[in-house]
Amino acid sequence: MEKIIELKNVSKSFDGETVLDNISLTIYDNEFVTLLGPSGCGKTTTLRIIGGFEHADAGDVIFMGENVNDLPPHKRQVNTVFQKYALFPHLNVFENVAFPLRERKVPRAEINEKVHAMLKMVKLSGFANRKVTSLSGGQQQRVAIARALVNEPKVLLLDEPLAALDLKLRKDMQLELKKIQKETGITFIFVTHDQEEALSMSDTIVVMTDGTIQQIGTPTDIYNEPVNAFVADFIGESNIVDGIMPSDYVVSFSGQTFDCLDGGFAKNEPVDVVIRPEDVDIVPTQQGKLCGTVTSVTFKGVHNEAIVDINGFKWMIQTTDPVTVGSEIGIALEPDAIHIMKKSQYSEQFGDYSSFSDEIDELAEAEAEAEAEAEAEAEAEAEENAETDADAADDATEKGEAEQ
């Protein structure tokens, strides 16, 4: 595949705070790439640097072999769809889509052909003469996408364009965007913090946090082979426990030893062990290598989501088996359900689901304490006011008696 964009050692700071820390990334032609990470991780800044809306403090942006560090946005073969669609309210749908072509002084016949082709692609063929202010949020978004694509850019940047839509429409638009990307062959670079969105739409996912790239890979690779505890926790649910590798393909954790599929670690090297909730099998306690107590169960429609206390560590298990709070269960793990990761700066930060069973109780206790304190303060203030009123009444009585 042809390289279309390269970021080389790019860094960016705002007000002395590092937002991007020496990142490098290669994006290929006709690829759907998603920049995924929590708020503040640097993904939108990366997008804006690619689009020319921000300038990197250090590093290079290479577009089709040419350094574009100093090239303004309108001279890059890139268009952007923002979370706020920025449509022109005084123009109808046709004219909104036609606007970039009119700016380039494209012949009228060509404008008419291209606009109608774009409206057909985004399923708005009968909407050409509608006012954009009369459209739903999803329809306005389709107009914004059509306007961004009508110039046939090499790259389309999408900065969380689905965030304002309701869940069903959002899922519909995920499918539409992927279909449009394949039909046009244009490289899409999509920013989101929604893991499910990234997994369902992308050819390549770039997982970011703290201004750095943690992992680049296909959705399958990112989900099944996370490189560290942050990625494992951010992409779906994960039980992450401390382990030791006594030898290749053998790991010890939670007081037991298991076969696994990973090797290449030092003898007795401390590791992070990842087990996805859906990969845990519930068995009778006498058959389980690990046993625990069910502390909570949430019905999720297709499956039950159980939190299980195993030696003081809270596991999440997703199962279609019936489970009840307070019951004792055993769990079994196949070798391919166990993924081994090297220790990282994110070790010990993720993977225990104690908050699922304790956090609400803790919040309730804190709220009760706050209410009790507020009531005590109110009572004290009422007593003080009563004393003040009593003193004032006594003074008034004494004054009246003196006047008589």
Task: Going residue by residue through the chain, which has 404 residues, state the pLDDT in tens, using 9 for 90 and above.
Answer: 799 999 999 999 999 899 999 999 999 999 999 999 998 899 999 999 999 999 999 999 999 999 999 999 888 989 988 877 788 999 999 999 999 999 889 999 999 999 999 999 988 988 999 999 999 888 888 899 999 999 889 999 999 888 877 888 888 888 888 999 998 999 999 999 999 999 999 999 999 999 999 999 999 999 999 999 999 999 989 999 999 999 999 999 999 999 999 999 999 999 999 999 999 999 999 999 999 999 999 998 889 999 999 999 999 999 999 899 999 999 999 999 999 999 999 998 887 887 544 444 444 455 656 666 666 676 666 666 656 655 555 555 555 555 55
By C-alpha distance, which of 99, 90, 21, 31 is closest to 57?
Answer: 21
Residue 396 pLDDT? 52
Residue 348 pLDDT? 86
Residue 265 pLDDT? 95
- Do 315 and 280 contact (CB within 8 A), yes or no? yes
Report how far residue 117's alpha carbon sits from residue 124's, in angstroms, rounded to the nearest whole number: 10
Q: Residue 201 is encoded by which pair of tokens? A: 């739409």
Residue 359 pLDDT? 44
Provide the whole-model pTM.
Answer: 0.81
* 197-203 long-range Cβ contacts below 8 angstroms, 24+ apart: 197/34, 197/162, 197/170, 198/34, 198/36, 199/223, 199/235, 200/174, 201/32, 201/34, 201/174, 201/177, 202/32, 202/33, 202/34, 203/31, 203/32, 203/33
Report how far residue 364's alpha carbon sits from residue 371's, in angstroms, rounded to the nearest whole number: 10
By C-alpha distance, which of 44, 42, 58 is closest to 7?
Answer: 58
Q: What is the helix (H) or strand (E) element at residue 382, kind and residue range?
A: helix 354-403
Residue 188 backbone dihedrals phi, psi, to 5 degrees? -105, 130
Residue 85 pLDDT? 75
List the beta bridge partners of residue 281.
332
Enumerate residues 6+ apart whose C-beta is below 8 A from 69: 55, 56, 60, 61
